[in-house]
Amino acid sequence: MKFEFKFIDKKQGSIKDDILSGLTVALALVPEAVAFSFVAGVSPIVGLYGAFMMGLITSIFGGRPGMISGATGAMAVVMVSLVQQGNAIGDGQGLQYLFATLILAGTIQALFGFFKLGKFIRLVPHSVMMGFVNGLAIVIFLSQLNMFKAGGEWLSGTPLYTMLGLVGLTMAIMVLLPKLSKAIPAALIGILVVTAIVIFGNIETETVRSFIQSGGGDSIKAGLPTFDVPVIPFNLETLKLIFPFAMILAAVGLIESLMTLNLVDELTETRGSGNREAAAQGLANIVNGFFGGMGGCAMIGQSIINIKSGGRGRLSGIVAAVMLLVFILFASSYIEMIPIAALVGVMFMVVIGTFAWSTFNIINKIPVSDLIVILLVTGLTVAFDLAIAVLAGVVVSALVFSWENAKRIRARKSVDEHGIKHYEIFGPLFFGSTALFQSKFDVQNDPNEVIVDFKESRIADQSAIEAINKLAERYQKAGKTIHLRHLSHDCIKLVKKAEAICDVNVLEDPNYFVAIDHYNKLIKLQAKLNKNATS
């Protein structure tokens, strides 16, 4: 089952599409980076620098062309406590501790990619993925609601109606324009049209400038980021403080980036490299630590804006990052004139495109356990953060899988003409099925010779090996012999105890003969000799 995203053209991009989509993304990145810097408790310039460096480095070296990285809310909420604890140590030291933590977190991420651990994203089930996109869509939607506030109070009356009207106009342009022409990204046209209406119509509404000032900032204008080593004590106490935060930031960044990569793969019907992306994310965060950015990871909202606007290549991300820097250096006054309503309208369209609406169509068609996982991941993403949600979803899915497979262990029983009882085992033997496996055997009433055939089963773990050892002990205590058949070589190496007290088929014979087969032949040969001797 694939996600269905409306308004997304899966055709290959072009240089023109990449440039225009990159410009659109850059405009949308400004208020996001500023907002997340406020969340983390740092200057808006730190957030903008972070978005620029994350976007540029991952676009060049990352494993997913077309995916956008920048300062994110998922990582910002982790940074808050770190910055506060750093400030408590020394006035203004919180930012320095943040930079040091980013360097360590980036190193962890780079090692993750270097050792090719990105493949573990395969363990994320589809139900978790659906819960992830649904939860993230809700989080993006809720974050945009804060834009409907002024001075901490909800808008009302004319300001509210003006805001809603401008948001609605932006969304209408994004829906209708692609039906007429796809030459220019609809999001970019929506932003430009609404901005022109506000400026030339002299309409009073919240702008990027007023948004920054309401958060305690002044302007987004600044110079180039400069290299600097974090000024903190390099000792064990510092490591104890920053290491837990570095691990959390690395995990959150990797999970969000790799899952966004999978989502963009779905959208574009192409395949990215998780290991390369992890290494690039790590490098970008290290650079952020040395050049004064707040770091970040992949951004699902901006990535979808880019894909919807036609961006497919690395050029789109590079243009977005470079244009963001251009805004900071030369065009801050113009960017600050953009009405927040235009950017909110774009993000609302992202919400519509991100949410997996097919969830409602499959409610009655999927297992209840999958539906529970979808709801669980969605709820945890909204209530806590992505890392907790995904980990919880994977754990629950794994437990459900184990439980279902634990019930599939079966034993077909038969007694041959020699009075030897055969147990043919079906299904996986692992920690969850060992108890049911043991219950299949009637040791006391079984004959003296028993064959257990694992041809249709699979010994999965140490618990299964121990179950076989215990079974062998039970038969030995009862004075009976057990023969194990069709065990794989790796299992035979582990069944040391069983090998010492019973006959184990070592699979050297391609016909899988076991000791009991040779025993039967000897019985028949002895009977034939006795018959000849008698005659």
Residue 10 is assigned to a structural domain of this protein = no
- DSSP 8-state code for residue 69: E
Residue 260 is assigned to a structural domain of this protein = yes
Q: How far is CA 374 from CA 6, 125, 126, 128, in A?
A: 21, 10, 9, 6
Q: Is the same domain home to 45 and 95?
A: yes
Q: Is the same domain home to 107 and 140?
A: yes
- Please, where are the H alpha helices in 62-200? 73-89, 93-114, 126-145, 157-180, 186-200
Name the residue among 485, 479, 495, 491 with its Cα closest to residue 515: 485
Distance of CA 315 to the CA centre of its chain: 25
List, for residues 11-47, the tens digit of each pLDDT value: 566 899 999 999 999 988 888 888 788 778 888 899 9
List, for residues 340-388, the tens digit of each pLDDT value: 999 889 888 888 887 888 888 888 888 999 999 999 999 998 887 777 8
Domain boundary among 398, 431, 453: 398
User: How far is Cα 434 from Cα 388, in angstroms, rounded to an integer?
Assistant: 31
As for how many domains the chain has, the answer is 2
| pLDDT, position 5 | 47
Residue 296 is assigned to a structural domain of this protein = yes
Q: Is the same domain home to 205 and 293?
A: yes
Q: Do 198 and 163 meet the contact criterion of CB atoms below 8 Å apart? A: no
Quote the domain boundaries for residue 182.
15-147+154-398
Give me the residues paired with residue 207 across strands. Answer: 339
Among all chains, which residue has been given the structure tokens 């085992």?
425
pLDDT higher at 96 or 217: 96
Q: Is the same domain home to 419 and 367?
A: no
User: How far is Cα 237 from Cα 247, in angstroms, rounded to an integer?
Assistant: 16
Q: Is the same domain home to 457 and 492?
A: yes
Q: Is the same domain home to 345 and 374?
A: yes
Residue 220 is assigned to a structural domain of this protein = yes
Bridge-based pairing of strands 481-485 and 410-415 is unpaired
Q: Is the same domain home to 134 and 164?
A: yes
Q: Is the same domain home to 311 and 438?
A: no
Q: Do 54 and 284 meet the contact criterion of CB atoms below 8 Å apart? A: yes
Residue 9 is assigned to a structural domain of this protein = no
Q: How far is CA 224 from CA 164, 165, 470, in A?
A: 37, 37, 69
| pLDDT, position 493 | 63
Taking all residues of the chain, what is their mean pLDDT, rounded to a whole number? 85
Q: Is the same domain home to 437 and 473?
A: yes
Residue 416 is assigned to a structural domain of this protein = yes
Domain boundary among 373, 398, 423: 398
* Percentage of the residues of the chain whose pLDDT score is greater than 90: 43
Q: Is the same domain home to 490 and 393?
A: no
Task: Work out the pLDDT band at 246, boundaries 50, 70, 90.
Answer: very high
Q: Is 360 left (phi over 0), alpha (psi -120 to 50) or beta?
A: alpha
Does residue 509 register a pLDDT over 50? no
Residue 217 is assigned to a structural domain of this protein = yes
To the question of pTM greater than 0.85 for the whole model, the response is no
Q: Is the same domain home to 370 and 417?
A: no
Q: Do 34 and 212 meet the contact criterion of CB atoms below 8 Å apart? A: yes
Tokens of 513: 């003969």
The H-or-E segment that residue 422 falls in is: strand 421-429
The full length of the chain comes to 535
pLDDT higher at 458 or 322: 322
* Residue 455, phi then psi, degrees to nearest 5: -60, -35
Residue 366 burial by Cβ neighbours in a 10 Å radius (0-12, 13-18, 19+):
middle
CA quadruple 264, 268, 274, 280: dihedral sign: negative
Residue 202 is assigned to a structural domain of this protein = yes
Q: Is the same domain home to 306 and 216?
A: yes
Domain boundary among 370, 398, 426: 398
458: domain CATH number is 3.30.750.24
List, for residues 166-184, the tens digit of each pLDDT value: 999 999 999 998 888 877 8
